[in-house]
A and B are shown apart, each in its own frame.
Chain A
Amino acid sequence: MDLDLGPEIAQFRARLRDWIGANAPAELGGLTDWRIAATAGGYQGSEIARASTHPAYALWERRLGEARLICPQWPEEFGGQGMDAVRLAVLNEEFHAAGVPRVRRGMGESLVGPSVIVHGTAEQRAHFLPRIISGEDVYCQGFSEPDQGSDLAGVQTRAEVDGDEVVITGTKVWTSGAARANMMFALCRSDPSAPKHAGLSYVLFPFTDPRVRYRPIRQMSGASEFCEDFIDGVRAPLFNVIGGLNNGWKVAMTTLGHERGGAATVQHLGFEREFWELVDTARKYGRGTDPLVRQQLAWAYTGVQVMRFTGLRTLAEVAEGRPPGPEASVNKLMWSEYHKRLGEIAIGIVGTDGLVRPDGSGYPTTQWQNVFLSSRAGTIYSGTSEIQRNIVGERALGLPKEPKGQRP
């Protein structure tokens, strides 16, 4: 069933569909299965990266840029078209249906841009935003530190003012996409004498600077998606401090609070595909008639469908001009806990084949071994499930905060 979002949205959808038909290069759809990239369950990054070097992709990227379909949710004066969450969801659905890629600008688009738009000066917006849209600046995140996980406001990396520059020194960790990035946005301590939240600044600095070294962190899955970064006196102009010195906590909260509502109705698609792959696997292993396996698969199907229903519900509410309800706040908790359990179910279904890895150097794994291992990170990164439950309990249910502990 299609969600009825009114005639205006139907028209928008039709125009967009026509535009894609007229502008998507013929070879583009055949380069890879682009739909994998838009979903949360995929691990086919290198395949996507290879396809993205094809000239058809470059042509598509240029046409999208000309049509303001890169960062389209940004306000018009900053290079987007002020697309609301409903239209953005329709955009995602139509790109997905046509099998063409959204060209996204990663954390620059979803995290840095919104913070610069809200907290930057006119000059900062004019400098930083176009470089994100064009792809010239690719950002990685410098929030977590080895000693600061969930307690983000305790970061120790220093940003010392020296004339009209800041000098950044410290260690950041859990940086994804470090190898692709030329810029880092970081939360740093600029006033060590001020109370914890009051002495922080939000700084953008060149990550390609020779005074930055980083090393990949090998995860339990064998993959290395994150890095630890050693920053030793990198200099950036004061111009690169967003929201003013010592005001970084507020800026960082904007960044973290930025809703990615446009993904609501496509988020489940990767999980749905993975679910049917698991059903095929269960049949292949002769487990499709096992009553316990059938219970597990029905549970998993329910989880995926609940994500679909919830996305549609959120979108329908937003389309009516209402704020998303409490269902939006449990989204991260829902998919990350779901995926962990799915990994456990999957490796149980393949049984003894879960014991043995494919031959090869390093630590190659099968699809279900990989889901089993890599899904453990999902309930930890981007706010652990425990932090999520605090947020849900305090913001959605209005339960009282825990008394603060003593600073060590």
Chain B
Amino acid sequence: MKLAFSAEQQELRDSVSRFLADRMPLQRVRELMESGDGSDENVWSYAGSQLGLQGIAIPEEYGGGGFSFVEQAIVLEQLGAALYPGPYLASAVLAATALLASSDEAAKRDLLPGIATGSTVATLAFTEDNGSWEPDAIRLAATRDDQGWRLDGHKNFVLGGHCADLILALARTGDGLSLFAVDARAADSADGLTRKQLQTLDQTRTLGRLEFSALPARLIGAPGEGGQILDRTLDVAAIALAAEQLGGAQRALDMAVAYAKIRHQFGRPIGSFQAIKHRCADLLLEVESLRSAVGYAAAALAEDSAEVPVLAALVKALASDTYFHVAAENIQIHGGIGFTWEHDAHLYFKRAKSSELFLGDASYHRERLATRIGV
């Protein structure tokens, strides 16, 4: 296992960071928040076709870059720091991982190359109106007739779900939970797919609600394989999201520390007061703890270690607490300007909460962790 970044990995981090600073500054993020579906097609397609970011961890045989999850975590950290609002987590992590975790060789060859270049925006639809992250709560039904499989029911809280070209959905069959693919480019309500973009607390993260009515779908892998695919995908996604949260937490801490150095009150920089300094030191401890944990979990995933399920629950809980705490303290340290719409602190605060709640909050993952270590 390697834990120190190589020169190539540092170069990757720097180039993604420069790309985002240049093409997706917070000013641009705000424009996307206010208008449309939150994605910038030029940035998305450049990231996919020129930088290879969407396909970075997809094997070369499926059109990807063939790098490991360590490299993908580097990308995710930078995306999180920039509050990148496009569907990267949906397409390059959730959908790509679900396909890779399936046994369906033909589907991988058909669908992954488009995801890798960014020409396909994909997502994974698994949660429903009940809001549960547990596979047992899934009610979407898949039935088979002489023309193939059809889906009936709904999905909710689907990342990028309102605009994805390809929807992978978990549904129940007689053989249990199974994964299905829907080509949403062609489908509309006449075909049995109704989509709605949701108004999100965190406007940098778009969510959709989907209704399916006898919608034709393609079975991915064998019937009954969905539970296993979903377990694996949620573990990978938890670590991926934690990498994003790390990036956001680090950026929020940097903002707070920079402000504490320049803001003067009572004739001194406020960072010289222990009330502020000690708070920043505690936040650094939390962010560095998270950095160590995400680095280890990413390396474990790259090696396909048996530790992954434990690490997934551990880092998602840690990242959720850490990012929210840092983002909240960032507002407090900024004082009055910190709770204005104009200042960027609230963007991180809202992203921190949406990232905490998505895939299950810290308590949910600590309970999973307790179970997984055998408590």
A-side contacts of B375, CB under 8 Å: 279, 282, 288, 294, 297-298, 301
The dominant DSSP class at the B interface is helix
Does A313 lie within 8 Å of B274, measured CB to CB? no
B-side contacts of A330, CB under 8 Å: 281, 284-285, 288-289
Is there a chain A Cβ closer than 8 Å to B367's Cβ? yes
Does A399 lie within 8 Å of B289, measured CB to CB? no
Is there a chain B Cβ closer than 8 Å to A393's Cβ? yes
Does B274 lie within 8 Å of A3, measured CB to CB? no
Does B373 lie within 8 Å of A333, measured CB to CB? no
Bound CA–CA A279/B318 (angstroms): 20
Is there a chain A Cβ closer than 8 Å to B309's Cβ? no
Known: A282-B375, A327-B289, A333-B285. 13 other contacts (CB 8 A): A1-B299, A1-B307, A294-B370, A302-B293, A302-B318, A310-B289, A310-B292, A313-B291, A317-B3, A327-B291, A390-B278, A393-B278, A396-B281
Pairs across A and B, CB under 8 Å, 29 listed? A4-B1, A279-B375, A294-B366, A294-B375, A295-B366, A298-B370, A298-B373, A298-B375, A301-B373, A305-B293, A306-B293, A312-B3, A312-B292, A313-B3, A316-B2, A317-B4, A320-B4, A330-B284, A330-B285, A389-B277, A392-B281, A393-B271, A393-B281, A394-B277, A397-B271, A397-B277, A397-B281, A399-B276, A403-B268
Bound CA–CA A403/B269 (angstroms): 11
Within 8 A of A (CB), among B61-107: none
Q: Could you list which residues of chain A lie within 8 angstroms of chain B, going by C-beta atoms?
A: 1-4, 279, 282, 288, 291, 294-295, 297-299, 301-302, 305-306, 309-310, 312-313, 315-317, 319-320, 322, 325-327, 330, 333-334, 386, 388-390, 392-394, 396-403
Bound CA–CA A187/B271 (angstroms): 31
Bound CA–CA A397/B254 (angstroms): 9
Given A288-B375, A392-B284: A1 touches B292 (CB 8 Å cut-off): no
Does B292 lie within 8 Å of A397, measured CB to CB? no
Is there a chain A Cβ closer than 8 Å to B328's Cβ? no
Does B272 lie within 8 Å of A403, measured CB to CB? yes
A-side contacts of B4, CB under 8 Å: 313, 316-317, 319-320, 322
B-side contacts of A334, CB under 8 Å: 285, 289
Within 8 A of A (CB), among B199-237: none
Is there a chain A Cβ closer than 8 Å to B300's Cβ? yes
Is there a chain A Cβ closer than 8 Å to B48's Cβ? no
Q: Give min CB distance, A319 to chain B, whole Å.
A: 7
Is there a chain A Cβ closer than 8 Å to B317's Cβ? yes
Given A3-B3, A402-B272: A393 touches B277 (CB 8 Å cut-off): yes
Is there a chain A Cβ closer than 8 Å to B19's Cβ? no
- 4 closest A-B pairs by beta carbon, nearest first, are A316-B3, A298-B366, A393-B277, A399-B271
Does A393 lie within 8 Å of B280, measured CB to CB? yes
Within 8 A of A (CB), among B263-319: 268-269, 271-274, 276-278, 280-282, 284-285, 288-289, 291-293, 295-296, 299-300, 303, 305, 307, 314, 317-318
B-side contacts of A327, CB under 8 Å: 288-289, 291-292
Chain B residue with the shortest CB-CB distance to A318:
B4
Does A400 lie within 8 Å of B272, measured CB to CB? yes
Given A319-B4, A393-B278: A306 touches B370 (CB 8 Å cut-off): no
Is there a chain A Cβ closer than 8 Å to B15's Cβ? no
Is there a chain A Cβ closer than 8 Å to B112's Cβ? no
Q: Could you list which residues of chain B lie within 8 angstroms of chain A, going by C-beta atoms?
A: 1-4, 257, 260-261, 268-269, 271-274, 276-278, 280-282, 284-285, 288-289, 291-293, 295-296, 299-300, 303, 305, 307, 314, 317-318, 363, 366-367, 369-370, 373, 375
Greatest chain A CB density within 10 A among B261, B268, B288, B303 is at B288
Does B295 lie within 8 Å of A299, measured CB to CB? no
Q: Give min CB distance, B233 to chain A, whole Å.
A: 22
Does B367 lie within 8 Å of A298, measured CB to CB? yes
Bound CA–CA A327/B285 (angstroms): 7
The residue from A3, A291, A298, A398 contacting B1, defined by CB atoms under 8 A apart: A3
Chain A residue with the shortest CB-CB distance to B311:
A305
B-side contacts of A298, CB under 8 Å: 317, 366-367, 369-370, 373, 375
Given A302-B317, A313-B296, A402-B272: A389 touches B281 (CB 8 Å cut-off): yes
Given A1-B299, A279-B375, A309-B292: A295 touches B363 (CB 8 Å cut-off): yes
Given A302-B318, A313-B3, A399-B261: A291 touches B367 (CB 8 Å cut-off): yes
Bound CA–CA A394/B274 (angstroms): 11
Chain B residue with the shortest CB-CB distance to A394:
B277
Bound CA–CA A398/B317 (angstroms): 29
Chain A residue with the shortest CB-CB distance to B290:
A306
Does A306 lie within 8 Å of B289, measured CB to CB? yes
Chain B residue with the shortest CB-CB distance to A388:
B281
B-side contacts of A2, CB under 8 Å: 1
B-side contacts of A399, CB under 8 Å: 257, 260-261, 269, 271-272, 276-277, 280
A-side contacts of B257, CB under 8 Å: 397-399
B-side contacts of A279, CB under 8 Å: 375
Given A316-B4, A334-B285, A396-B284: A389 touches B292 (CB 8 Å cut-off): no
Q: Give min CB distance, B253 to chain A, whole Å.
A: 9
A-side contacts of B303, CB under 8 Å: 1
Q: Give min CB distance, A314 to chain B, whole Å.
A: 9
Chain B residue with the shortest CB-CB distance to A1:
B1
Chain A residue with the shortest CB-CB distance to B271:
A399
Does B293 lie within 8 Å of A309, measured CB to CB? yes
Bound CA–CA A288/B367 (angstroms): 11
Bound CA–CA A392/B302 (angstroms): 32
Does A389 lie within 8 Å of B370, measured CB to CB? no
Greatest chain A CB density within 10 A among B276, B284, B291, B295 is at B284
Q: Give min CB distance, B130 to chain A, whole Å.
A: 20
B-side contacts of A282, CB under 8 Å: 375
A-side contacts of B261, CB under 8 Å: 398-400
B-side contacts of A326, CB under 8 Å: 284, 288
Does B366 lie within 8 Å of A313, measured CB to CB? no
Bound CA–CA A98/B131 (angstroms): 50
Does A301 lie within 8 Å of B295, measured CB to CB? no
A-side contacts of B363, CB under 8 Å: 295
Chain B residue with the shortest CB-CB distance to A303:
B289
Q: Give min CB distance, A386 to chain B, whole Å.
A: 7
Does B370 lie within 8 Å of A297, measured CB to CB? yes
B-side contacts of A317, CB under 8 Å: 3-4
